A and B are shown apart, each in its own frame.
Chain A
Amino acid sequence: MASEIILPALVILIFVVALIKKVDAYEAFISGCKEGLGLFVNVFSSLLAMMLSISLLRESGVFDILSDFICKIFPSIPAPIFPLVMFRPISGSASLAILIDIFKNFGPDSLAGKMASVIQGSTDTTLYVITLYFSTVGIKKIKNSLWIGLFADFVGITLGILLTLKFMS
């Protein structure tokens, strides 16, 4: 499989360039790791909040009721995908919680798991980015930026679903 080579090739490229440029690769690696460690503190709390609501939605049967309904409209798409499609543009931690939920219950190599990975990787959290960036500089009139962002999400997610159905099932 060609995609198996992506990661090792990328690491080789990075370290060869670092060697040529005489960069202190070890120091750079360590400071990158530290940055990642700081992320944990920020992400854990919001991830926990979202895991709580997502787990409850699933265990209570609310997801089943919704999925049954939507499956009648789009029969070829795996049902667990729909919550992800709904939450992807709204909340990064919620969609991450749903992704974990799908991996846990169906496995990352199931159709749902693959499709969820592609969807999660195909867009960023539009609402979060727009709120953060505009509020930081004090802009209130955001014109049509939200709609354009959501439109792009829609294109990315739809394409992600179609590509997975065509090539990975």
Chain B
Amino acid sequence: MSKIWSFMILISLFVGIGSGRITSLNQVLVSVGQETLDFALPMMASTCFFSGVMYVAKEGGLMSALEKLLRPFFRLILPDLKNNPEALQYISANIVINMFGLGFAATPSGLKAMQLMQKDNPKKDTATRSMITFLVLNTAGVTILSTMIVSLRAQFNAVIPTDYMPYAIIATTCACIAGLLMDRWCNYRGK
């Protein structure tokens, strides 16, 4: 990542100077810190708000209700975790928290689940089938409400900040199903 980042900066500076856009380059270099703060501060402020609301949901048991609802589904797609109910529990917590767009709050439970799966792993440097399925589920995970996008859209005065959501939910659900099918197919072929 570091190389790509440095490369992006250097190539734009060279191209910019070559095409005579030195004034606008200066503009960026001088003001980018201020500008980023201008976006980041209100965005974080409203992310805080959403995070607060979601914690109320968590405390009220809405998330654990959803977790219980999804548990049979996780048992179905992660058959190797029959004897590791604890890992399964952390996995469902991780996926459910992700669903509510609190990615940063989901990471601890996800890492805990990885450690529990690693304990039963016969080959410690190689990923197990369940780990891969879990990460597919996580990266392609269904997100119902992405707090950051809604906050940003509101900040830039979108008429309806949430209007993109139905389409994002359809796309993310299909991506998740596609990832899981691909994972299954790879397992099937690998046998």
Contacts and interface: CB of A to CB of B under 8 A. Distances in A.
A152 B182 contact: yes
A28 B127 contact: no
A121 B52 CA distance: 20
9 contacts: A10-B145, A28-B55, A29-B53, A40-B40, A55-B32, A65-B15, A90-B4, A126-B139, A145-B127
B174 interface: yes
In the complex, which of the residues B11, B35, B139 has the most CB atoms of chain A within 10 Å of its own CB atom?
B139
State the main secondary structure of chain B at its contact with A: helix
State the main secondary structure of chain A at its contact with B: helix
A24 B59 CA distance: 8
Contact of B28 (A2, A59, A129, A153): A59
A123 B60 contact: no
A152 B162 contact: no
A151 B132 contact: no
A7 B150 contact: yes
Given A124-B138, A126-B139, A136-B114, A39 B104 contact: yes
Interface of B: 1, 4-5, 8-9, 11-13, 15-16, 19, 21, 24-25, 27-29, 32-33, 35-37, 39-41, 44, 47-62, 98, 103-105, 107, 110-111, 114-115, 117-118, 123-127, 131-132, 135-136, 138-141, 143, 145-146, 148-150, 152-153, 156-172, 174-176, 178-179, 182-183, 186
Given A14-B57, A51-B32, A160 B44 contact: no
B186 A56 contact: no
A67 interface: no
Contact of A28 (B37, B56, B148): B56
Contacts, number: 327
Interface of A: 1-4, 6-7, 10-11, 13-15, 17-18, 20-21, 23-25, 28-33, 35-37, 39-40, 42-44, 47-53, 55-57, 59-62, 65, 90-91, 96, 99-100, 103-104, 107-109, 113-114, 117-126, 129-130, 132-134, 136-145, 148-149, 151-153, 155-157, 159-160, 163-164, 167-168
